[in-house]
Chains A and B, each alone.
Chain A
Amino acid sequence: DAGVIQSPRHEVTEMGQEVTLRCKPISGHNSLFWYRQTMMRGLELLIYFNNNVPIDDSGMPEDRFSAKMPNASFSTLKIQPSEPRDSAVYFCASSRSGGSSYEQYFGPGTRLTVT
């Protein structure tokens, strides 16, 4: 299995530009999570989906952030317009929901730099 795939791995953009981060979860996993990691705030859960439906987006910092999951094999996290404080590593993770296992599989992350 290829694991969770994220693209791009690195993104450098200017303030005000739209940024789209992409994620392909592991086949068969029905939960998908977006996280953001910075030195100051650590690893934060932004939003998660179950069976392609957003369950909890309370971690999304503001309206500039939006996430979609049009099908079971693809999700996007969009920032429009981007700001320098959005610079961080964004991780996507997937898992099988339900039961008592909390094993999430994380992708390699997208390092975003907004100048």
Chain B
Amino acid sequence: LAKTTQPISMDSYEGQEVNITCSHNNIATNDYITWYQQFPSQGPRFIIQGYKTKVTNEVASLFIPADRKSSTLSLPRVSLSDTAVYYCLVTSSGGYNKLIFGAGTRLAVHP
């Protein structure tokens, strides 16, 4: 599985857009990029997944450039409740959907 690198922590303010970038230089052709969110005292929760270009859902957008060596999770207009740890994962297609979590990015949203 490709190794991922993302910032340890980020700070933002309510109403701002937050972009968290993850690098995955060794991503393979069959790999997908998946992001999870974890609130304190809860299990991680799936946010979004993509293979290339842009994916958007009701929670976030995921931007993946053509070389796929990085990806950016974009959270529009964050609120205090978006304070959480965000994990970027590279996952191989097929198989048993095995996930390997890194350290994640601890996002703190301030009033």
The answer to the question of A14 belonging to the interface, with a C-beta cut-off of 8 Å to chain B, is no
Contacts A100-B32, A101-B49: A106 and B97 contacting too (C-beta < 8 A)?
Answer: no
Instruction: Report whether A43 and B97 are in contact in the complex, using a CB–CB cutoff of 8 Å.
Output: no
On whether the beta carbons of B101 and A42 are closer than 8 Å, the reply is yes
In the complex, are the beta carbons of A93 and B32 less than 8 A apart?
A: no
Name the residue of chain A whose CB is nearest to the CB of B102: A42
Residues of chain A with a CB closer than 8 A to B103's CB:
42
B25 in the interface (beta carbon within 8 A): no
A77 within 8 A of B: no
Query: Total A-B residue pairs with C-beta atoms closer than 8 Å?
Result: 66
Contact of A98 among B87, B94, B102 (CB under 8 A): B94
Taking CB atoms, residues of chain A closer than 8 Å to B32 are 100, 102
Residues B46 and A103 in contact, CB atoms below 8 Å apart: yes
Give how many A residues have a beta carbon under 8 Å from the other chain's beta carbons.
28
Residue from the set A48, A101, A109 with the largest chain B CB neighbour count within 10 Å: A101
Q: How large is the interface on B (under 10, 10 to 19, 20 to 34, 35 or more residues)?
A: 20 to 34
Flag if A102 contacts B94 (CB, 8 Å).
no
Closest 3 CB pairs of A and B: A106-B43, A43-B101, A103-B46
Known A-B contacts: A31-B97, A42-B102, A50-B96. Give 17 more (CB < 8 A): A42-B104, A43-B38, A45-B99, A56-B96, A56-B98, A91-B43, A97-B96, A98-B94, A99-B94, A100-B32, A101-B97, A102-B46, A102-B49, A102-B97, A104-B99, A105-B46, A109-B41
Supply 12 A–B pairs (Cβ within 8 Å), ascending by A.
A35-B101, A45-B98, A55-B96, A56-B98, A98-B97, A100-B32, A100-B93, A102-B32, A102-B99, A103-B46, A104-B97, A109-B43
